[in-house]
Structure 1
């Protein structure tokens, strides 16, 4: 409905801001009304995925890009093939010209892996912008004074500590490495993912999806510890991650597997005890 109206009228900026506001509120709160401050700015959310955004559209910029097609219609007949090509290409280019373009992020392929569970990708995306509400960030915002990690209780909680340095996360990474039968650097998974480390393409994609799932699971375990003062066992966490990714793969895969990939997946899916 928005695209149709936006392609006919130049809609007032106030209305477009309201449309953006509704979309933003729904993304971060599940409702059209404002419930809490967003973790990541709307400008970043409207950037393409390769630039670290979610690929959403800024309503005002999109409206102007769609209206721009009338310029070509004034020059010649709108049913001309060349005009159709200009309309198709430059309408999209006009939108990107209006928005602020940034550099492509190196973790885009890891974040938007087809095997990722969507909620895993979203939490991983927020974590890559360092916008999760960790205790150190909440303290800087004046929302609390406690900064000690809820899980280990040894150091201050930050993105770096929670996902890479905490003894709990290190244990989870070690168990996941055992399950996947490979060693990868938790603090530089992007480099490992791009190089492949001699593994098949399927195993590399599988590993990337499990790693993104681990980021989600650690964040979920942290919130569980905060709310219920109970720490989920690392092996339970890793079992659930591998089970979820294997199930998603089985639902999406339509091609026959090579025997070594099949054996690897079967061995990976065995439960840890």
Structure 2
């Protein structure tokens, strides 16, 4: 725990964006315990503490609990295609890692540890139905416990006769609850989108933003009105789609794009392999990020920027991103359309 907290407090980790924090959690924080996680099942209390530190750091940049998360951590640890952020779930990863020891026993790997286990505990017994004696070590009971949990997986996925056999990756994937893919997955996770914008789009799709209507329900605001227009509750629908302020911005962007501003339904049903669709999705993400950023400025500084200035900001960000993605592999029509957005 101390190592994880020290990594958070050092290396300027607090100043990272949400996208940077996700990268740090996956590549550093969730690997500090990986050595021990491959040897035995880490107690649930310790796993809970690790996940709490990672959760607090992701949402607040600190290992301590200060703010209420926008989205539950169980949702964050889901794969991206089912609505999560792809952060590893520590408990499932631990079970999958110990599963490699189970696989060694199944395949009778040429290892000294396997020979010792076979002579002392298994003694020609069937590994599939084996139960450890009451006086066996705690670590061996852990291996047997993981064997029972993964028993169906070894049978259903044919990990044993497979050329590659069991891997930590396919064990972890099997342990994660299988859920249907969300229809907005490609809208958020494609290579054209600017990473820092995704952490706004993602909670929007799950109704997770702390709008004034939401905060008013739990007693954090005196009223639920949107500060920019001042006459309607600040819901996600009103904030991004119905308010006259955002409508003026979308109308100006439609003129700039030379076509109607895309709706969420159109993007969800569009051809995700189309380069023009990716460009439209990127512009849509920039729009959502800019509106939310202006909303926060209004709340903190009681100042509202003219819609024309926000439109110019969106055009600049989207134009730069589109130009960086344009290349010889695109059709002349797509390249010409992107060049018009500069």
Task: Name the TM-score class by shorter chain.
Answer: 0.7 to 0.9
Kindly indicate whether residue 95 of structure 2 is the aligned counterpart of residue 22 of structure 1: no
Q: Deviations over 1:42-95 (max 9, x none)?
A: 01001111111101111111101111111110122447x95772222xx33433
**Matched residue, 2:98:** 67
Cα contact 1:47–1:101 (8 A) shared by 2: no
Q: Using a 3 Å threshold, how does the CA distance of structure 1 residues 215 and 189 change in structure 2: closer, same or farther?
A: farther
**Matched residue, 1:233:** 306
**Matched residue, 1:41:** 72
Q: Using a 3 Å threshold, how does the CA distance of structure 1 residues 59 and 29 change in structure 2: closer, same or farther?
A: same
Q: Deviations over 1:105-137 (max 9, x none)?
A: 101101112111112111000111111010110
Aligned with 1:149: secondary structure?
coil
Q: Deviations over 1:18-50 (max 9, x none)?
A: 111111111101122222111100010011111
Q: Using a 3 Å threshold, how does the CA distance of structure 1 residues 48 and 153 change in structure 2: closer, same or farther?
A: same
2:191 to 101, 114, 139: 114
2:165 to 86, 111, 122: 86
User: 2 CA distance for matches of 1:185 and 1:203?
Assistant: 12
Kindly indicate whether residue 219 of structure 2 is the aligned counterpart of residue 142 of structure 1: yes
Unmatched 5+ stretches in structure 1: none
TM-score (norm 2): 0.70
Cα contact 2:271–2:277 (8 A) shared by 1: no
**Matched residue, 2:231:** 154
Q: CA offset at residue 237 of structure 1? A: 1.9
Q: For the pair shown, which has the larger CA radius of gyration, 1 or 2? A: 2
Cα contact 1:73–1:83 (8 A) shared by 2: no
**Matched residue, 1:2:** 33
Q: Using a 3 Å threshold, how does the CA distance of structure 1 residues 83 and 266 change in structure 2: closer, same or farther?
A: closer
Cα contact 2:92–2:175 (8 A) shared by 1: yes
User: 1 CA distance for matches of 2:43 and 2:329?
Assistant: 53
Q: CA offset at residue 9 of structure 1? A: 2.6
User: 2 CA distance for matches of 1:83 and 1:8?
Assistant: 24
User: 2 CA distance for matches of 1:19 and 1:183?
Assistant: 47
**Matched residue, 1:248:** 321
2:340 to 245, 259, 267: 267
Aligned length: 263
Give the RMSD, CA atoms, in angstroms: 2.4
